[in-house]
């Protein structure tokens, strides 16, 4: 695994996931009339886990890396993802912790993927929330190597705040109170140890169904192959940049006021939570120190708000809106044809999953809105309101298409 992870080109992931440079206009004849496995995203729940292995990449190096990772870990799988809010999953890859919509994914062969569900829905939801807070966290190649090395060797250096795929998922569940994930230390967790955890419910055959390859399969992400570029791809780098810029203020706040009981945070979402928690802890601070405490919160808030003002988030949100609008316009036109080329079942699955996601997002927005007196919280809430409003409009358009195609719900 050590040799496999050295000197990797930019498009190769340490877990062996290849990335397509472009998918526009490309047509692969191998998919013409072929069968693949598609996820029914309406059946996904927060906290669901997916294990994958790269078996179908066009990049030989990606295939070799995945093979070496599987051998080193003693597993059939080389990568792990966790559902944060269906159909969205989060994963720790070479660029850091990022999000992926399973609505745009497929699998070539069912044996290349496995899906699990924790039996306790409350624990699973907590794990999903903790995982969401980690989006934007840096990837640690050193820790990934250490996880499969003999105990006591290759220890990560102090100050390494990064993570890797299986540790990221395990940590989310440990923080959620799932004792079974603590049987193996987080830094030694691999896809193999997660696969062997007793009590997890195997939902692979429920989630993934055999189906004809979609017409746009070349533009989709193969969970067991190459990842397709998406408009949201820049978000991980953006969140990392924001967090790094604000980290000194966050460290100062936590270290100078231990009586507040604040937890150290290193990610963008974590720092937003830190501001909320600090605000709620104001009365824990002695009156003589309270003004300095509020000043420290303000400094962190200002640092984050300054980063948010660079327009990067609005930029990739605009790209997502443009991309989704193009797809929706195409589906609307197609729905009027005599023989519409639309998978109604898949469309209904996406609609149902996104409807539940909207409820979760609205709930999260309400809970965060209590802190809107802070600039960064207010800016984040405003962006979330715009995103939710757009998603709601898309849902109405989807419902119109489904009704026209005979599936009013």
For residue range 84-103, what is the model confidence (pLDDT) as tens digits?
999 999 999 888 999 999 99
Q: CA–CA separation, 134 vs 234, rounded Å?
A: 16
Q: Are residues 259 and 275 in the same domain?
A: yes
Q: In percent, how much of the chain has pLDDT > 70?
A: 90
The CATH code of the domain that includes 215 is: 3.90.1720.10
Is 6 domain-assigned? no
> In this structure, what are the phi and psi dihedrals at residue 404, rounded to the nearest 5 degrees?
-65, -30
Q: CA–CA separation, 128 vs 134, rounded Å?
A: 10
Q: Are residues 285 and 346 in the same domain?
A: no
pLDDT for 60? 87
Length of the chain: 409
Domain boundary among 275, 309, 343: 309
Domain boundary among 268, 288, 309: 309
Q: Are residues 182 and 245 in the same domain?
A: no
pLDDT, averaged across the chain? 89
Predicted confidence band of residue 1 (pLDDT cuts 50, 70, 90) = very low
Residue the block writes with tokens 């912790």? 97
With a cut of 50, say whether residue 404 has pLDDT above it.
yes
Return the half-sphere exposure (C-beta side, CA atoms, 13 A cut-off) of residue 262: 31
Is 10 domain-assigned? no
pLDDT for 213? 92
pLDDT for 63? 87
pTM score, whole prediction:
0.86
Q: Are residues 62 and 172 in the same domain?
A: yes
Q: Are residues 95 and 159 in the same domain?
A: yes
For residue range 286-295, what is the model confidence (pLDDT) as tens digits?
999 999 999 9
Contacts of 262 (CB under 8 A, 6+ apart): 253, 254, 274, 277, 278, 281
Angle at 34 between CA 32 and CA 38, to 5 degrees: 115
Q: In the chain, how many domains are there?
A: 3
Is 9 domain-assigned? no
Q: CA–CA separation, 169 vs 165, rounded Å?
A: 7
Domain that holds residue 247: 236-309
pLDDT for 61? 86
Q: Are residues 178 and 48 in the same domain?
A: yes
Domain boundary among 309, 325, 346: 309
Alpha helix (H) residue ranges in 20-120 = 60-73
For residue range 364-398, what is the model confidence (pLDDT) as tens digits?
999 999 999 999 999 999 999 999 999 999 999 99
Q: Are residues 284 and 380 in the same domain?
A: no
Instruction: Please tell me whether residue 18 adopts helix, strand or coil conformation.
Output: strand
Predicted confidence band of residue 9 (pLDDT cuts 50, 70, 90) = very low
- Residue 143: closest CA among 193, 88, 209, 187: 187
For residue range 219-230, what is the model confidence (pLDDT) as tens digits?
899 999 998 887
Query: E strands of 24-70, at which residues?
Result: 35-39, 49-52
As given in the structure block, the two tokens for residue 239 are 């969140």
The one-character DSSP state at 150 is P
pLDDT for 253? 98
The one-character DSSP state at 163 is B
Is 143 domain-assigned? yes
Torsion of CA 109, 112, 118, 124, to 10 degrees: -90
Is 352 domain-assigned? yes
Q: Are residues 59 and 130 in the same domain?
A: yes
For residue range 158-186, what is the model confidence (pLDDT) as tens digits?
556 889 999 999 999 999 999 999 999 99
Average pLDDT, stretch 72-90?
Answer: 92
As given in the structure block, the two tokens for residue 72 are 């080193």
Q: Are residues 262 and 127 in the same domain?
A: no
Average pLDDT, stretch 59-83?
Answer: 88
Percent helix, strand, coil in the chain (nearest 5)? 55, 10, 35
The one-character DSSP state at 178 is -
Q: Which of 80-94, 112-126, 217-231, 256-270 has the lowest mean pLDDT?
A: 217-231
Residue the block writes with tokens 């994963």? 91
pLDDT for 143? 77
């Amino acid at each position: 695994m050590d040799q496999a992870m050295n000197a990797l080109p930019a498009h190769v992931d340490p877990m062996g996931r290849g990335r397509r440079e472009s998918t526009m206009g490309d047509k692969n004849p191998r998919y013409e009339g072929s069968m693949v496995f598609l996820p029914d995203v309406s059946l996904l729940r927060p906290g669901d886990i997916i294990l994958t292995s790269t078996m179908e990449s066009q990049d030989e190096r990606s295939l070799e890396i995945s093979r070496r990772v599987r051998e080193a870990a003693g597993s059939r799988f080389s990568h792990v993802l966790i559902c944060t809010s269906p159909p969205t999953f989060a994963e720790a890859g070479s660029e850091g912790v990022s999000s992926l919509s399973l609505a745009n994914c497929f699998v070539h062969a069912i044996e290349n993927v496995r899906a699990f569900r924790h039996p306790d829905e409350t624990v699973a939801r907590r794990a999903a929330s903790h995982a969401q807070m980690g989006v934007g966290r840096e990837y640690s190649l050193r820790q990934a190597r250490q996880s499969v090395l003999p105990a006591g060797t290759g220890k990560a250096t102090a100050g390494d705040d990064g993570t890797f795929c299986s540790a990221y998922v395990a940590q989310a569940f440990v923080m959620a109170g799932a004792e079974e994930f603590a049987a193996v230390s987080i830094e030694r967790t691999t896809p193999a140890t997660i696969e062997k955890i007793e009590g997890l419910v195997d939902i692979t055959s429920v989630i993934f169904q055999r189906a004809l390859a979609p017409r746009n399969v070349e533009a989709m992400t193969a969970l067991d192959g190459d990842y397709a570029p998406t408009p949201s791809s820049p978000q991980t780098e953006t969140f990392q940049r924001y967090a790094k810029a604000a980290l000194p203020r966050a460290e100062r706040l936590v270290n100078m006021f231990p009586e507040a009981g604040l937890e150290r945070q290193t990610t963008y979402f974590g720092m937003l939570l830190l501001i909320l928690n600090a605000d709620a802890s104001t009365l824990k601070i002695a009156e003589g120190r309270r003004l300095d405490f509020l000043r420290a919160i303000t400094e962190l808030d200002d640092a984050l708000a300054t980063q948010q003002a660079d327009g990067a988030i609005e930029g990739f949100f605009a790209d997502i809106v443009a991309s989704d609008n193009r797809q929706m316009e195409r589906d609307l036109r197609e729905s009027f044809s005599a023989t519409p080329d639309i998978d109604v079942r898949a469309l209904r699955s996406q609609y149902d999953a996104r409807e539940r996601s909207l409820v979760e997002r609205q709930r999260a927005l309400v809970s965060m809105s209590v802190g809107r007196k802070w600039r960064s919280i207010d800016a984040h809430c405003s962006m979330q309101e715009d995103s939710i409003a757009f998603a709601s409009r898309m849902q109405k358009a989807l419902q119109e298409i489904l009704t026209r195609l005979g599936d009013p719900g």
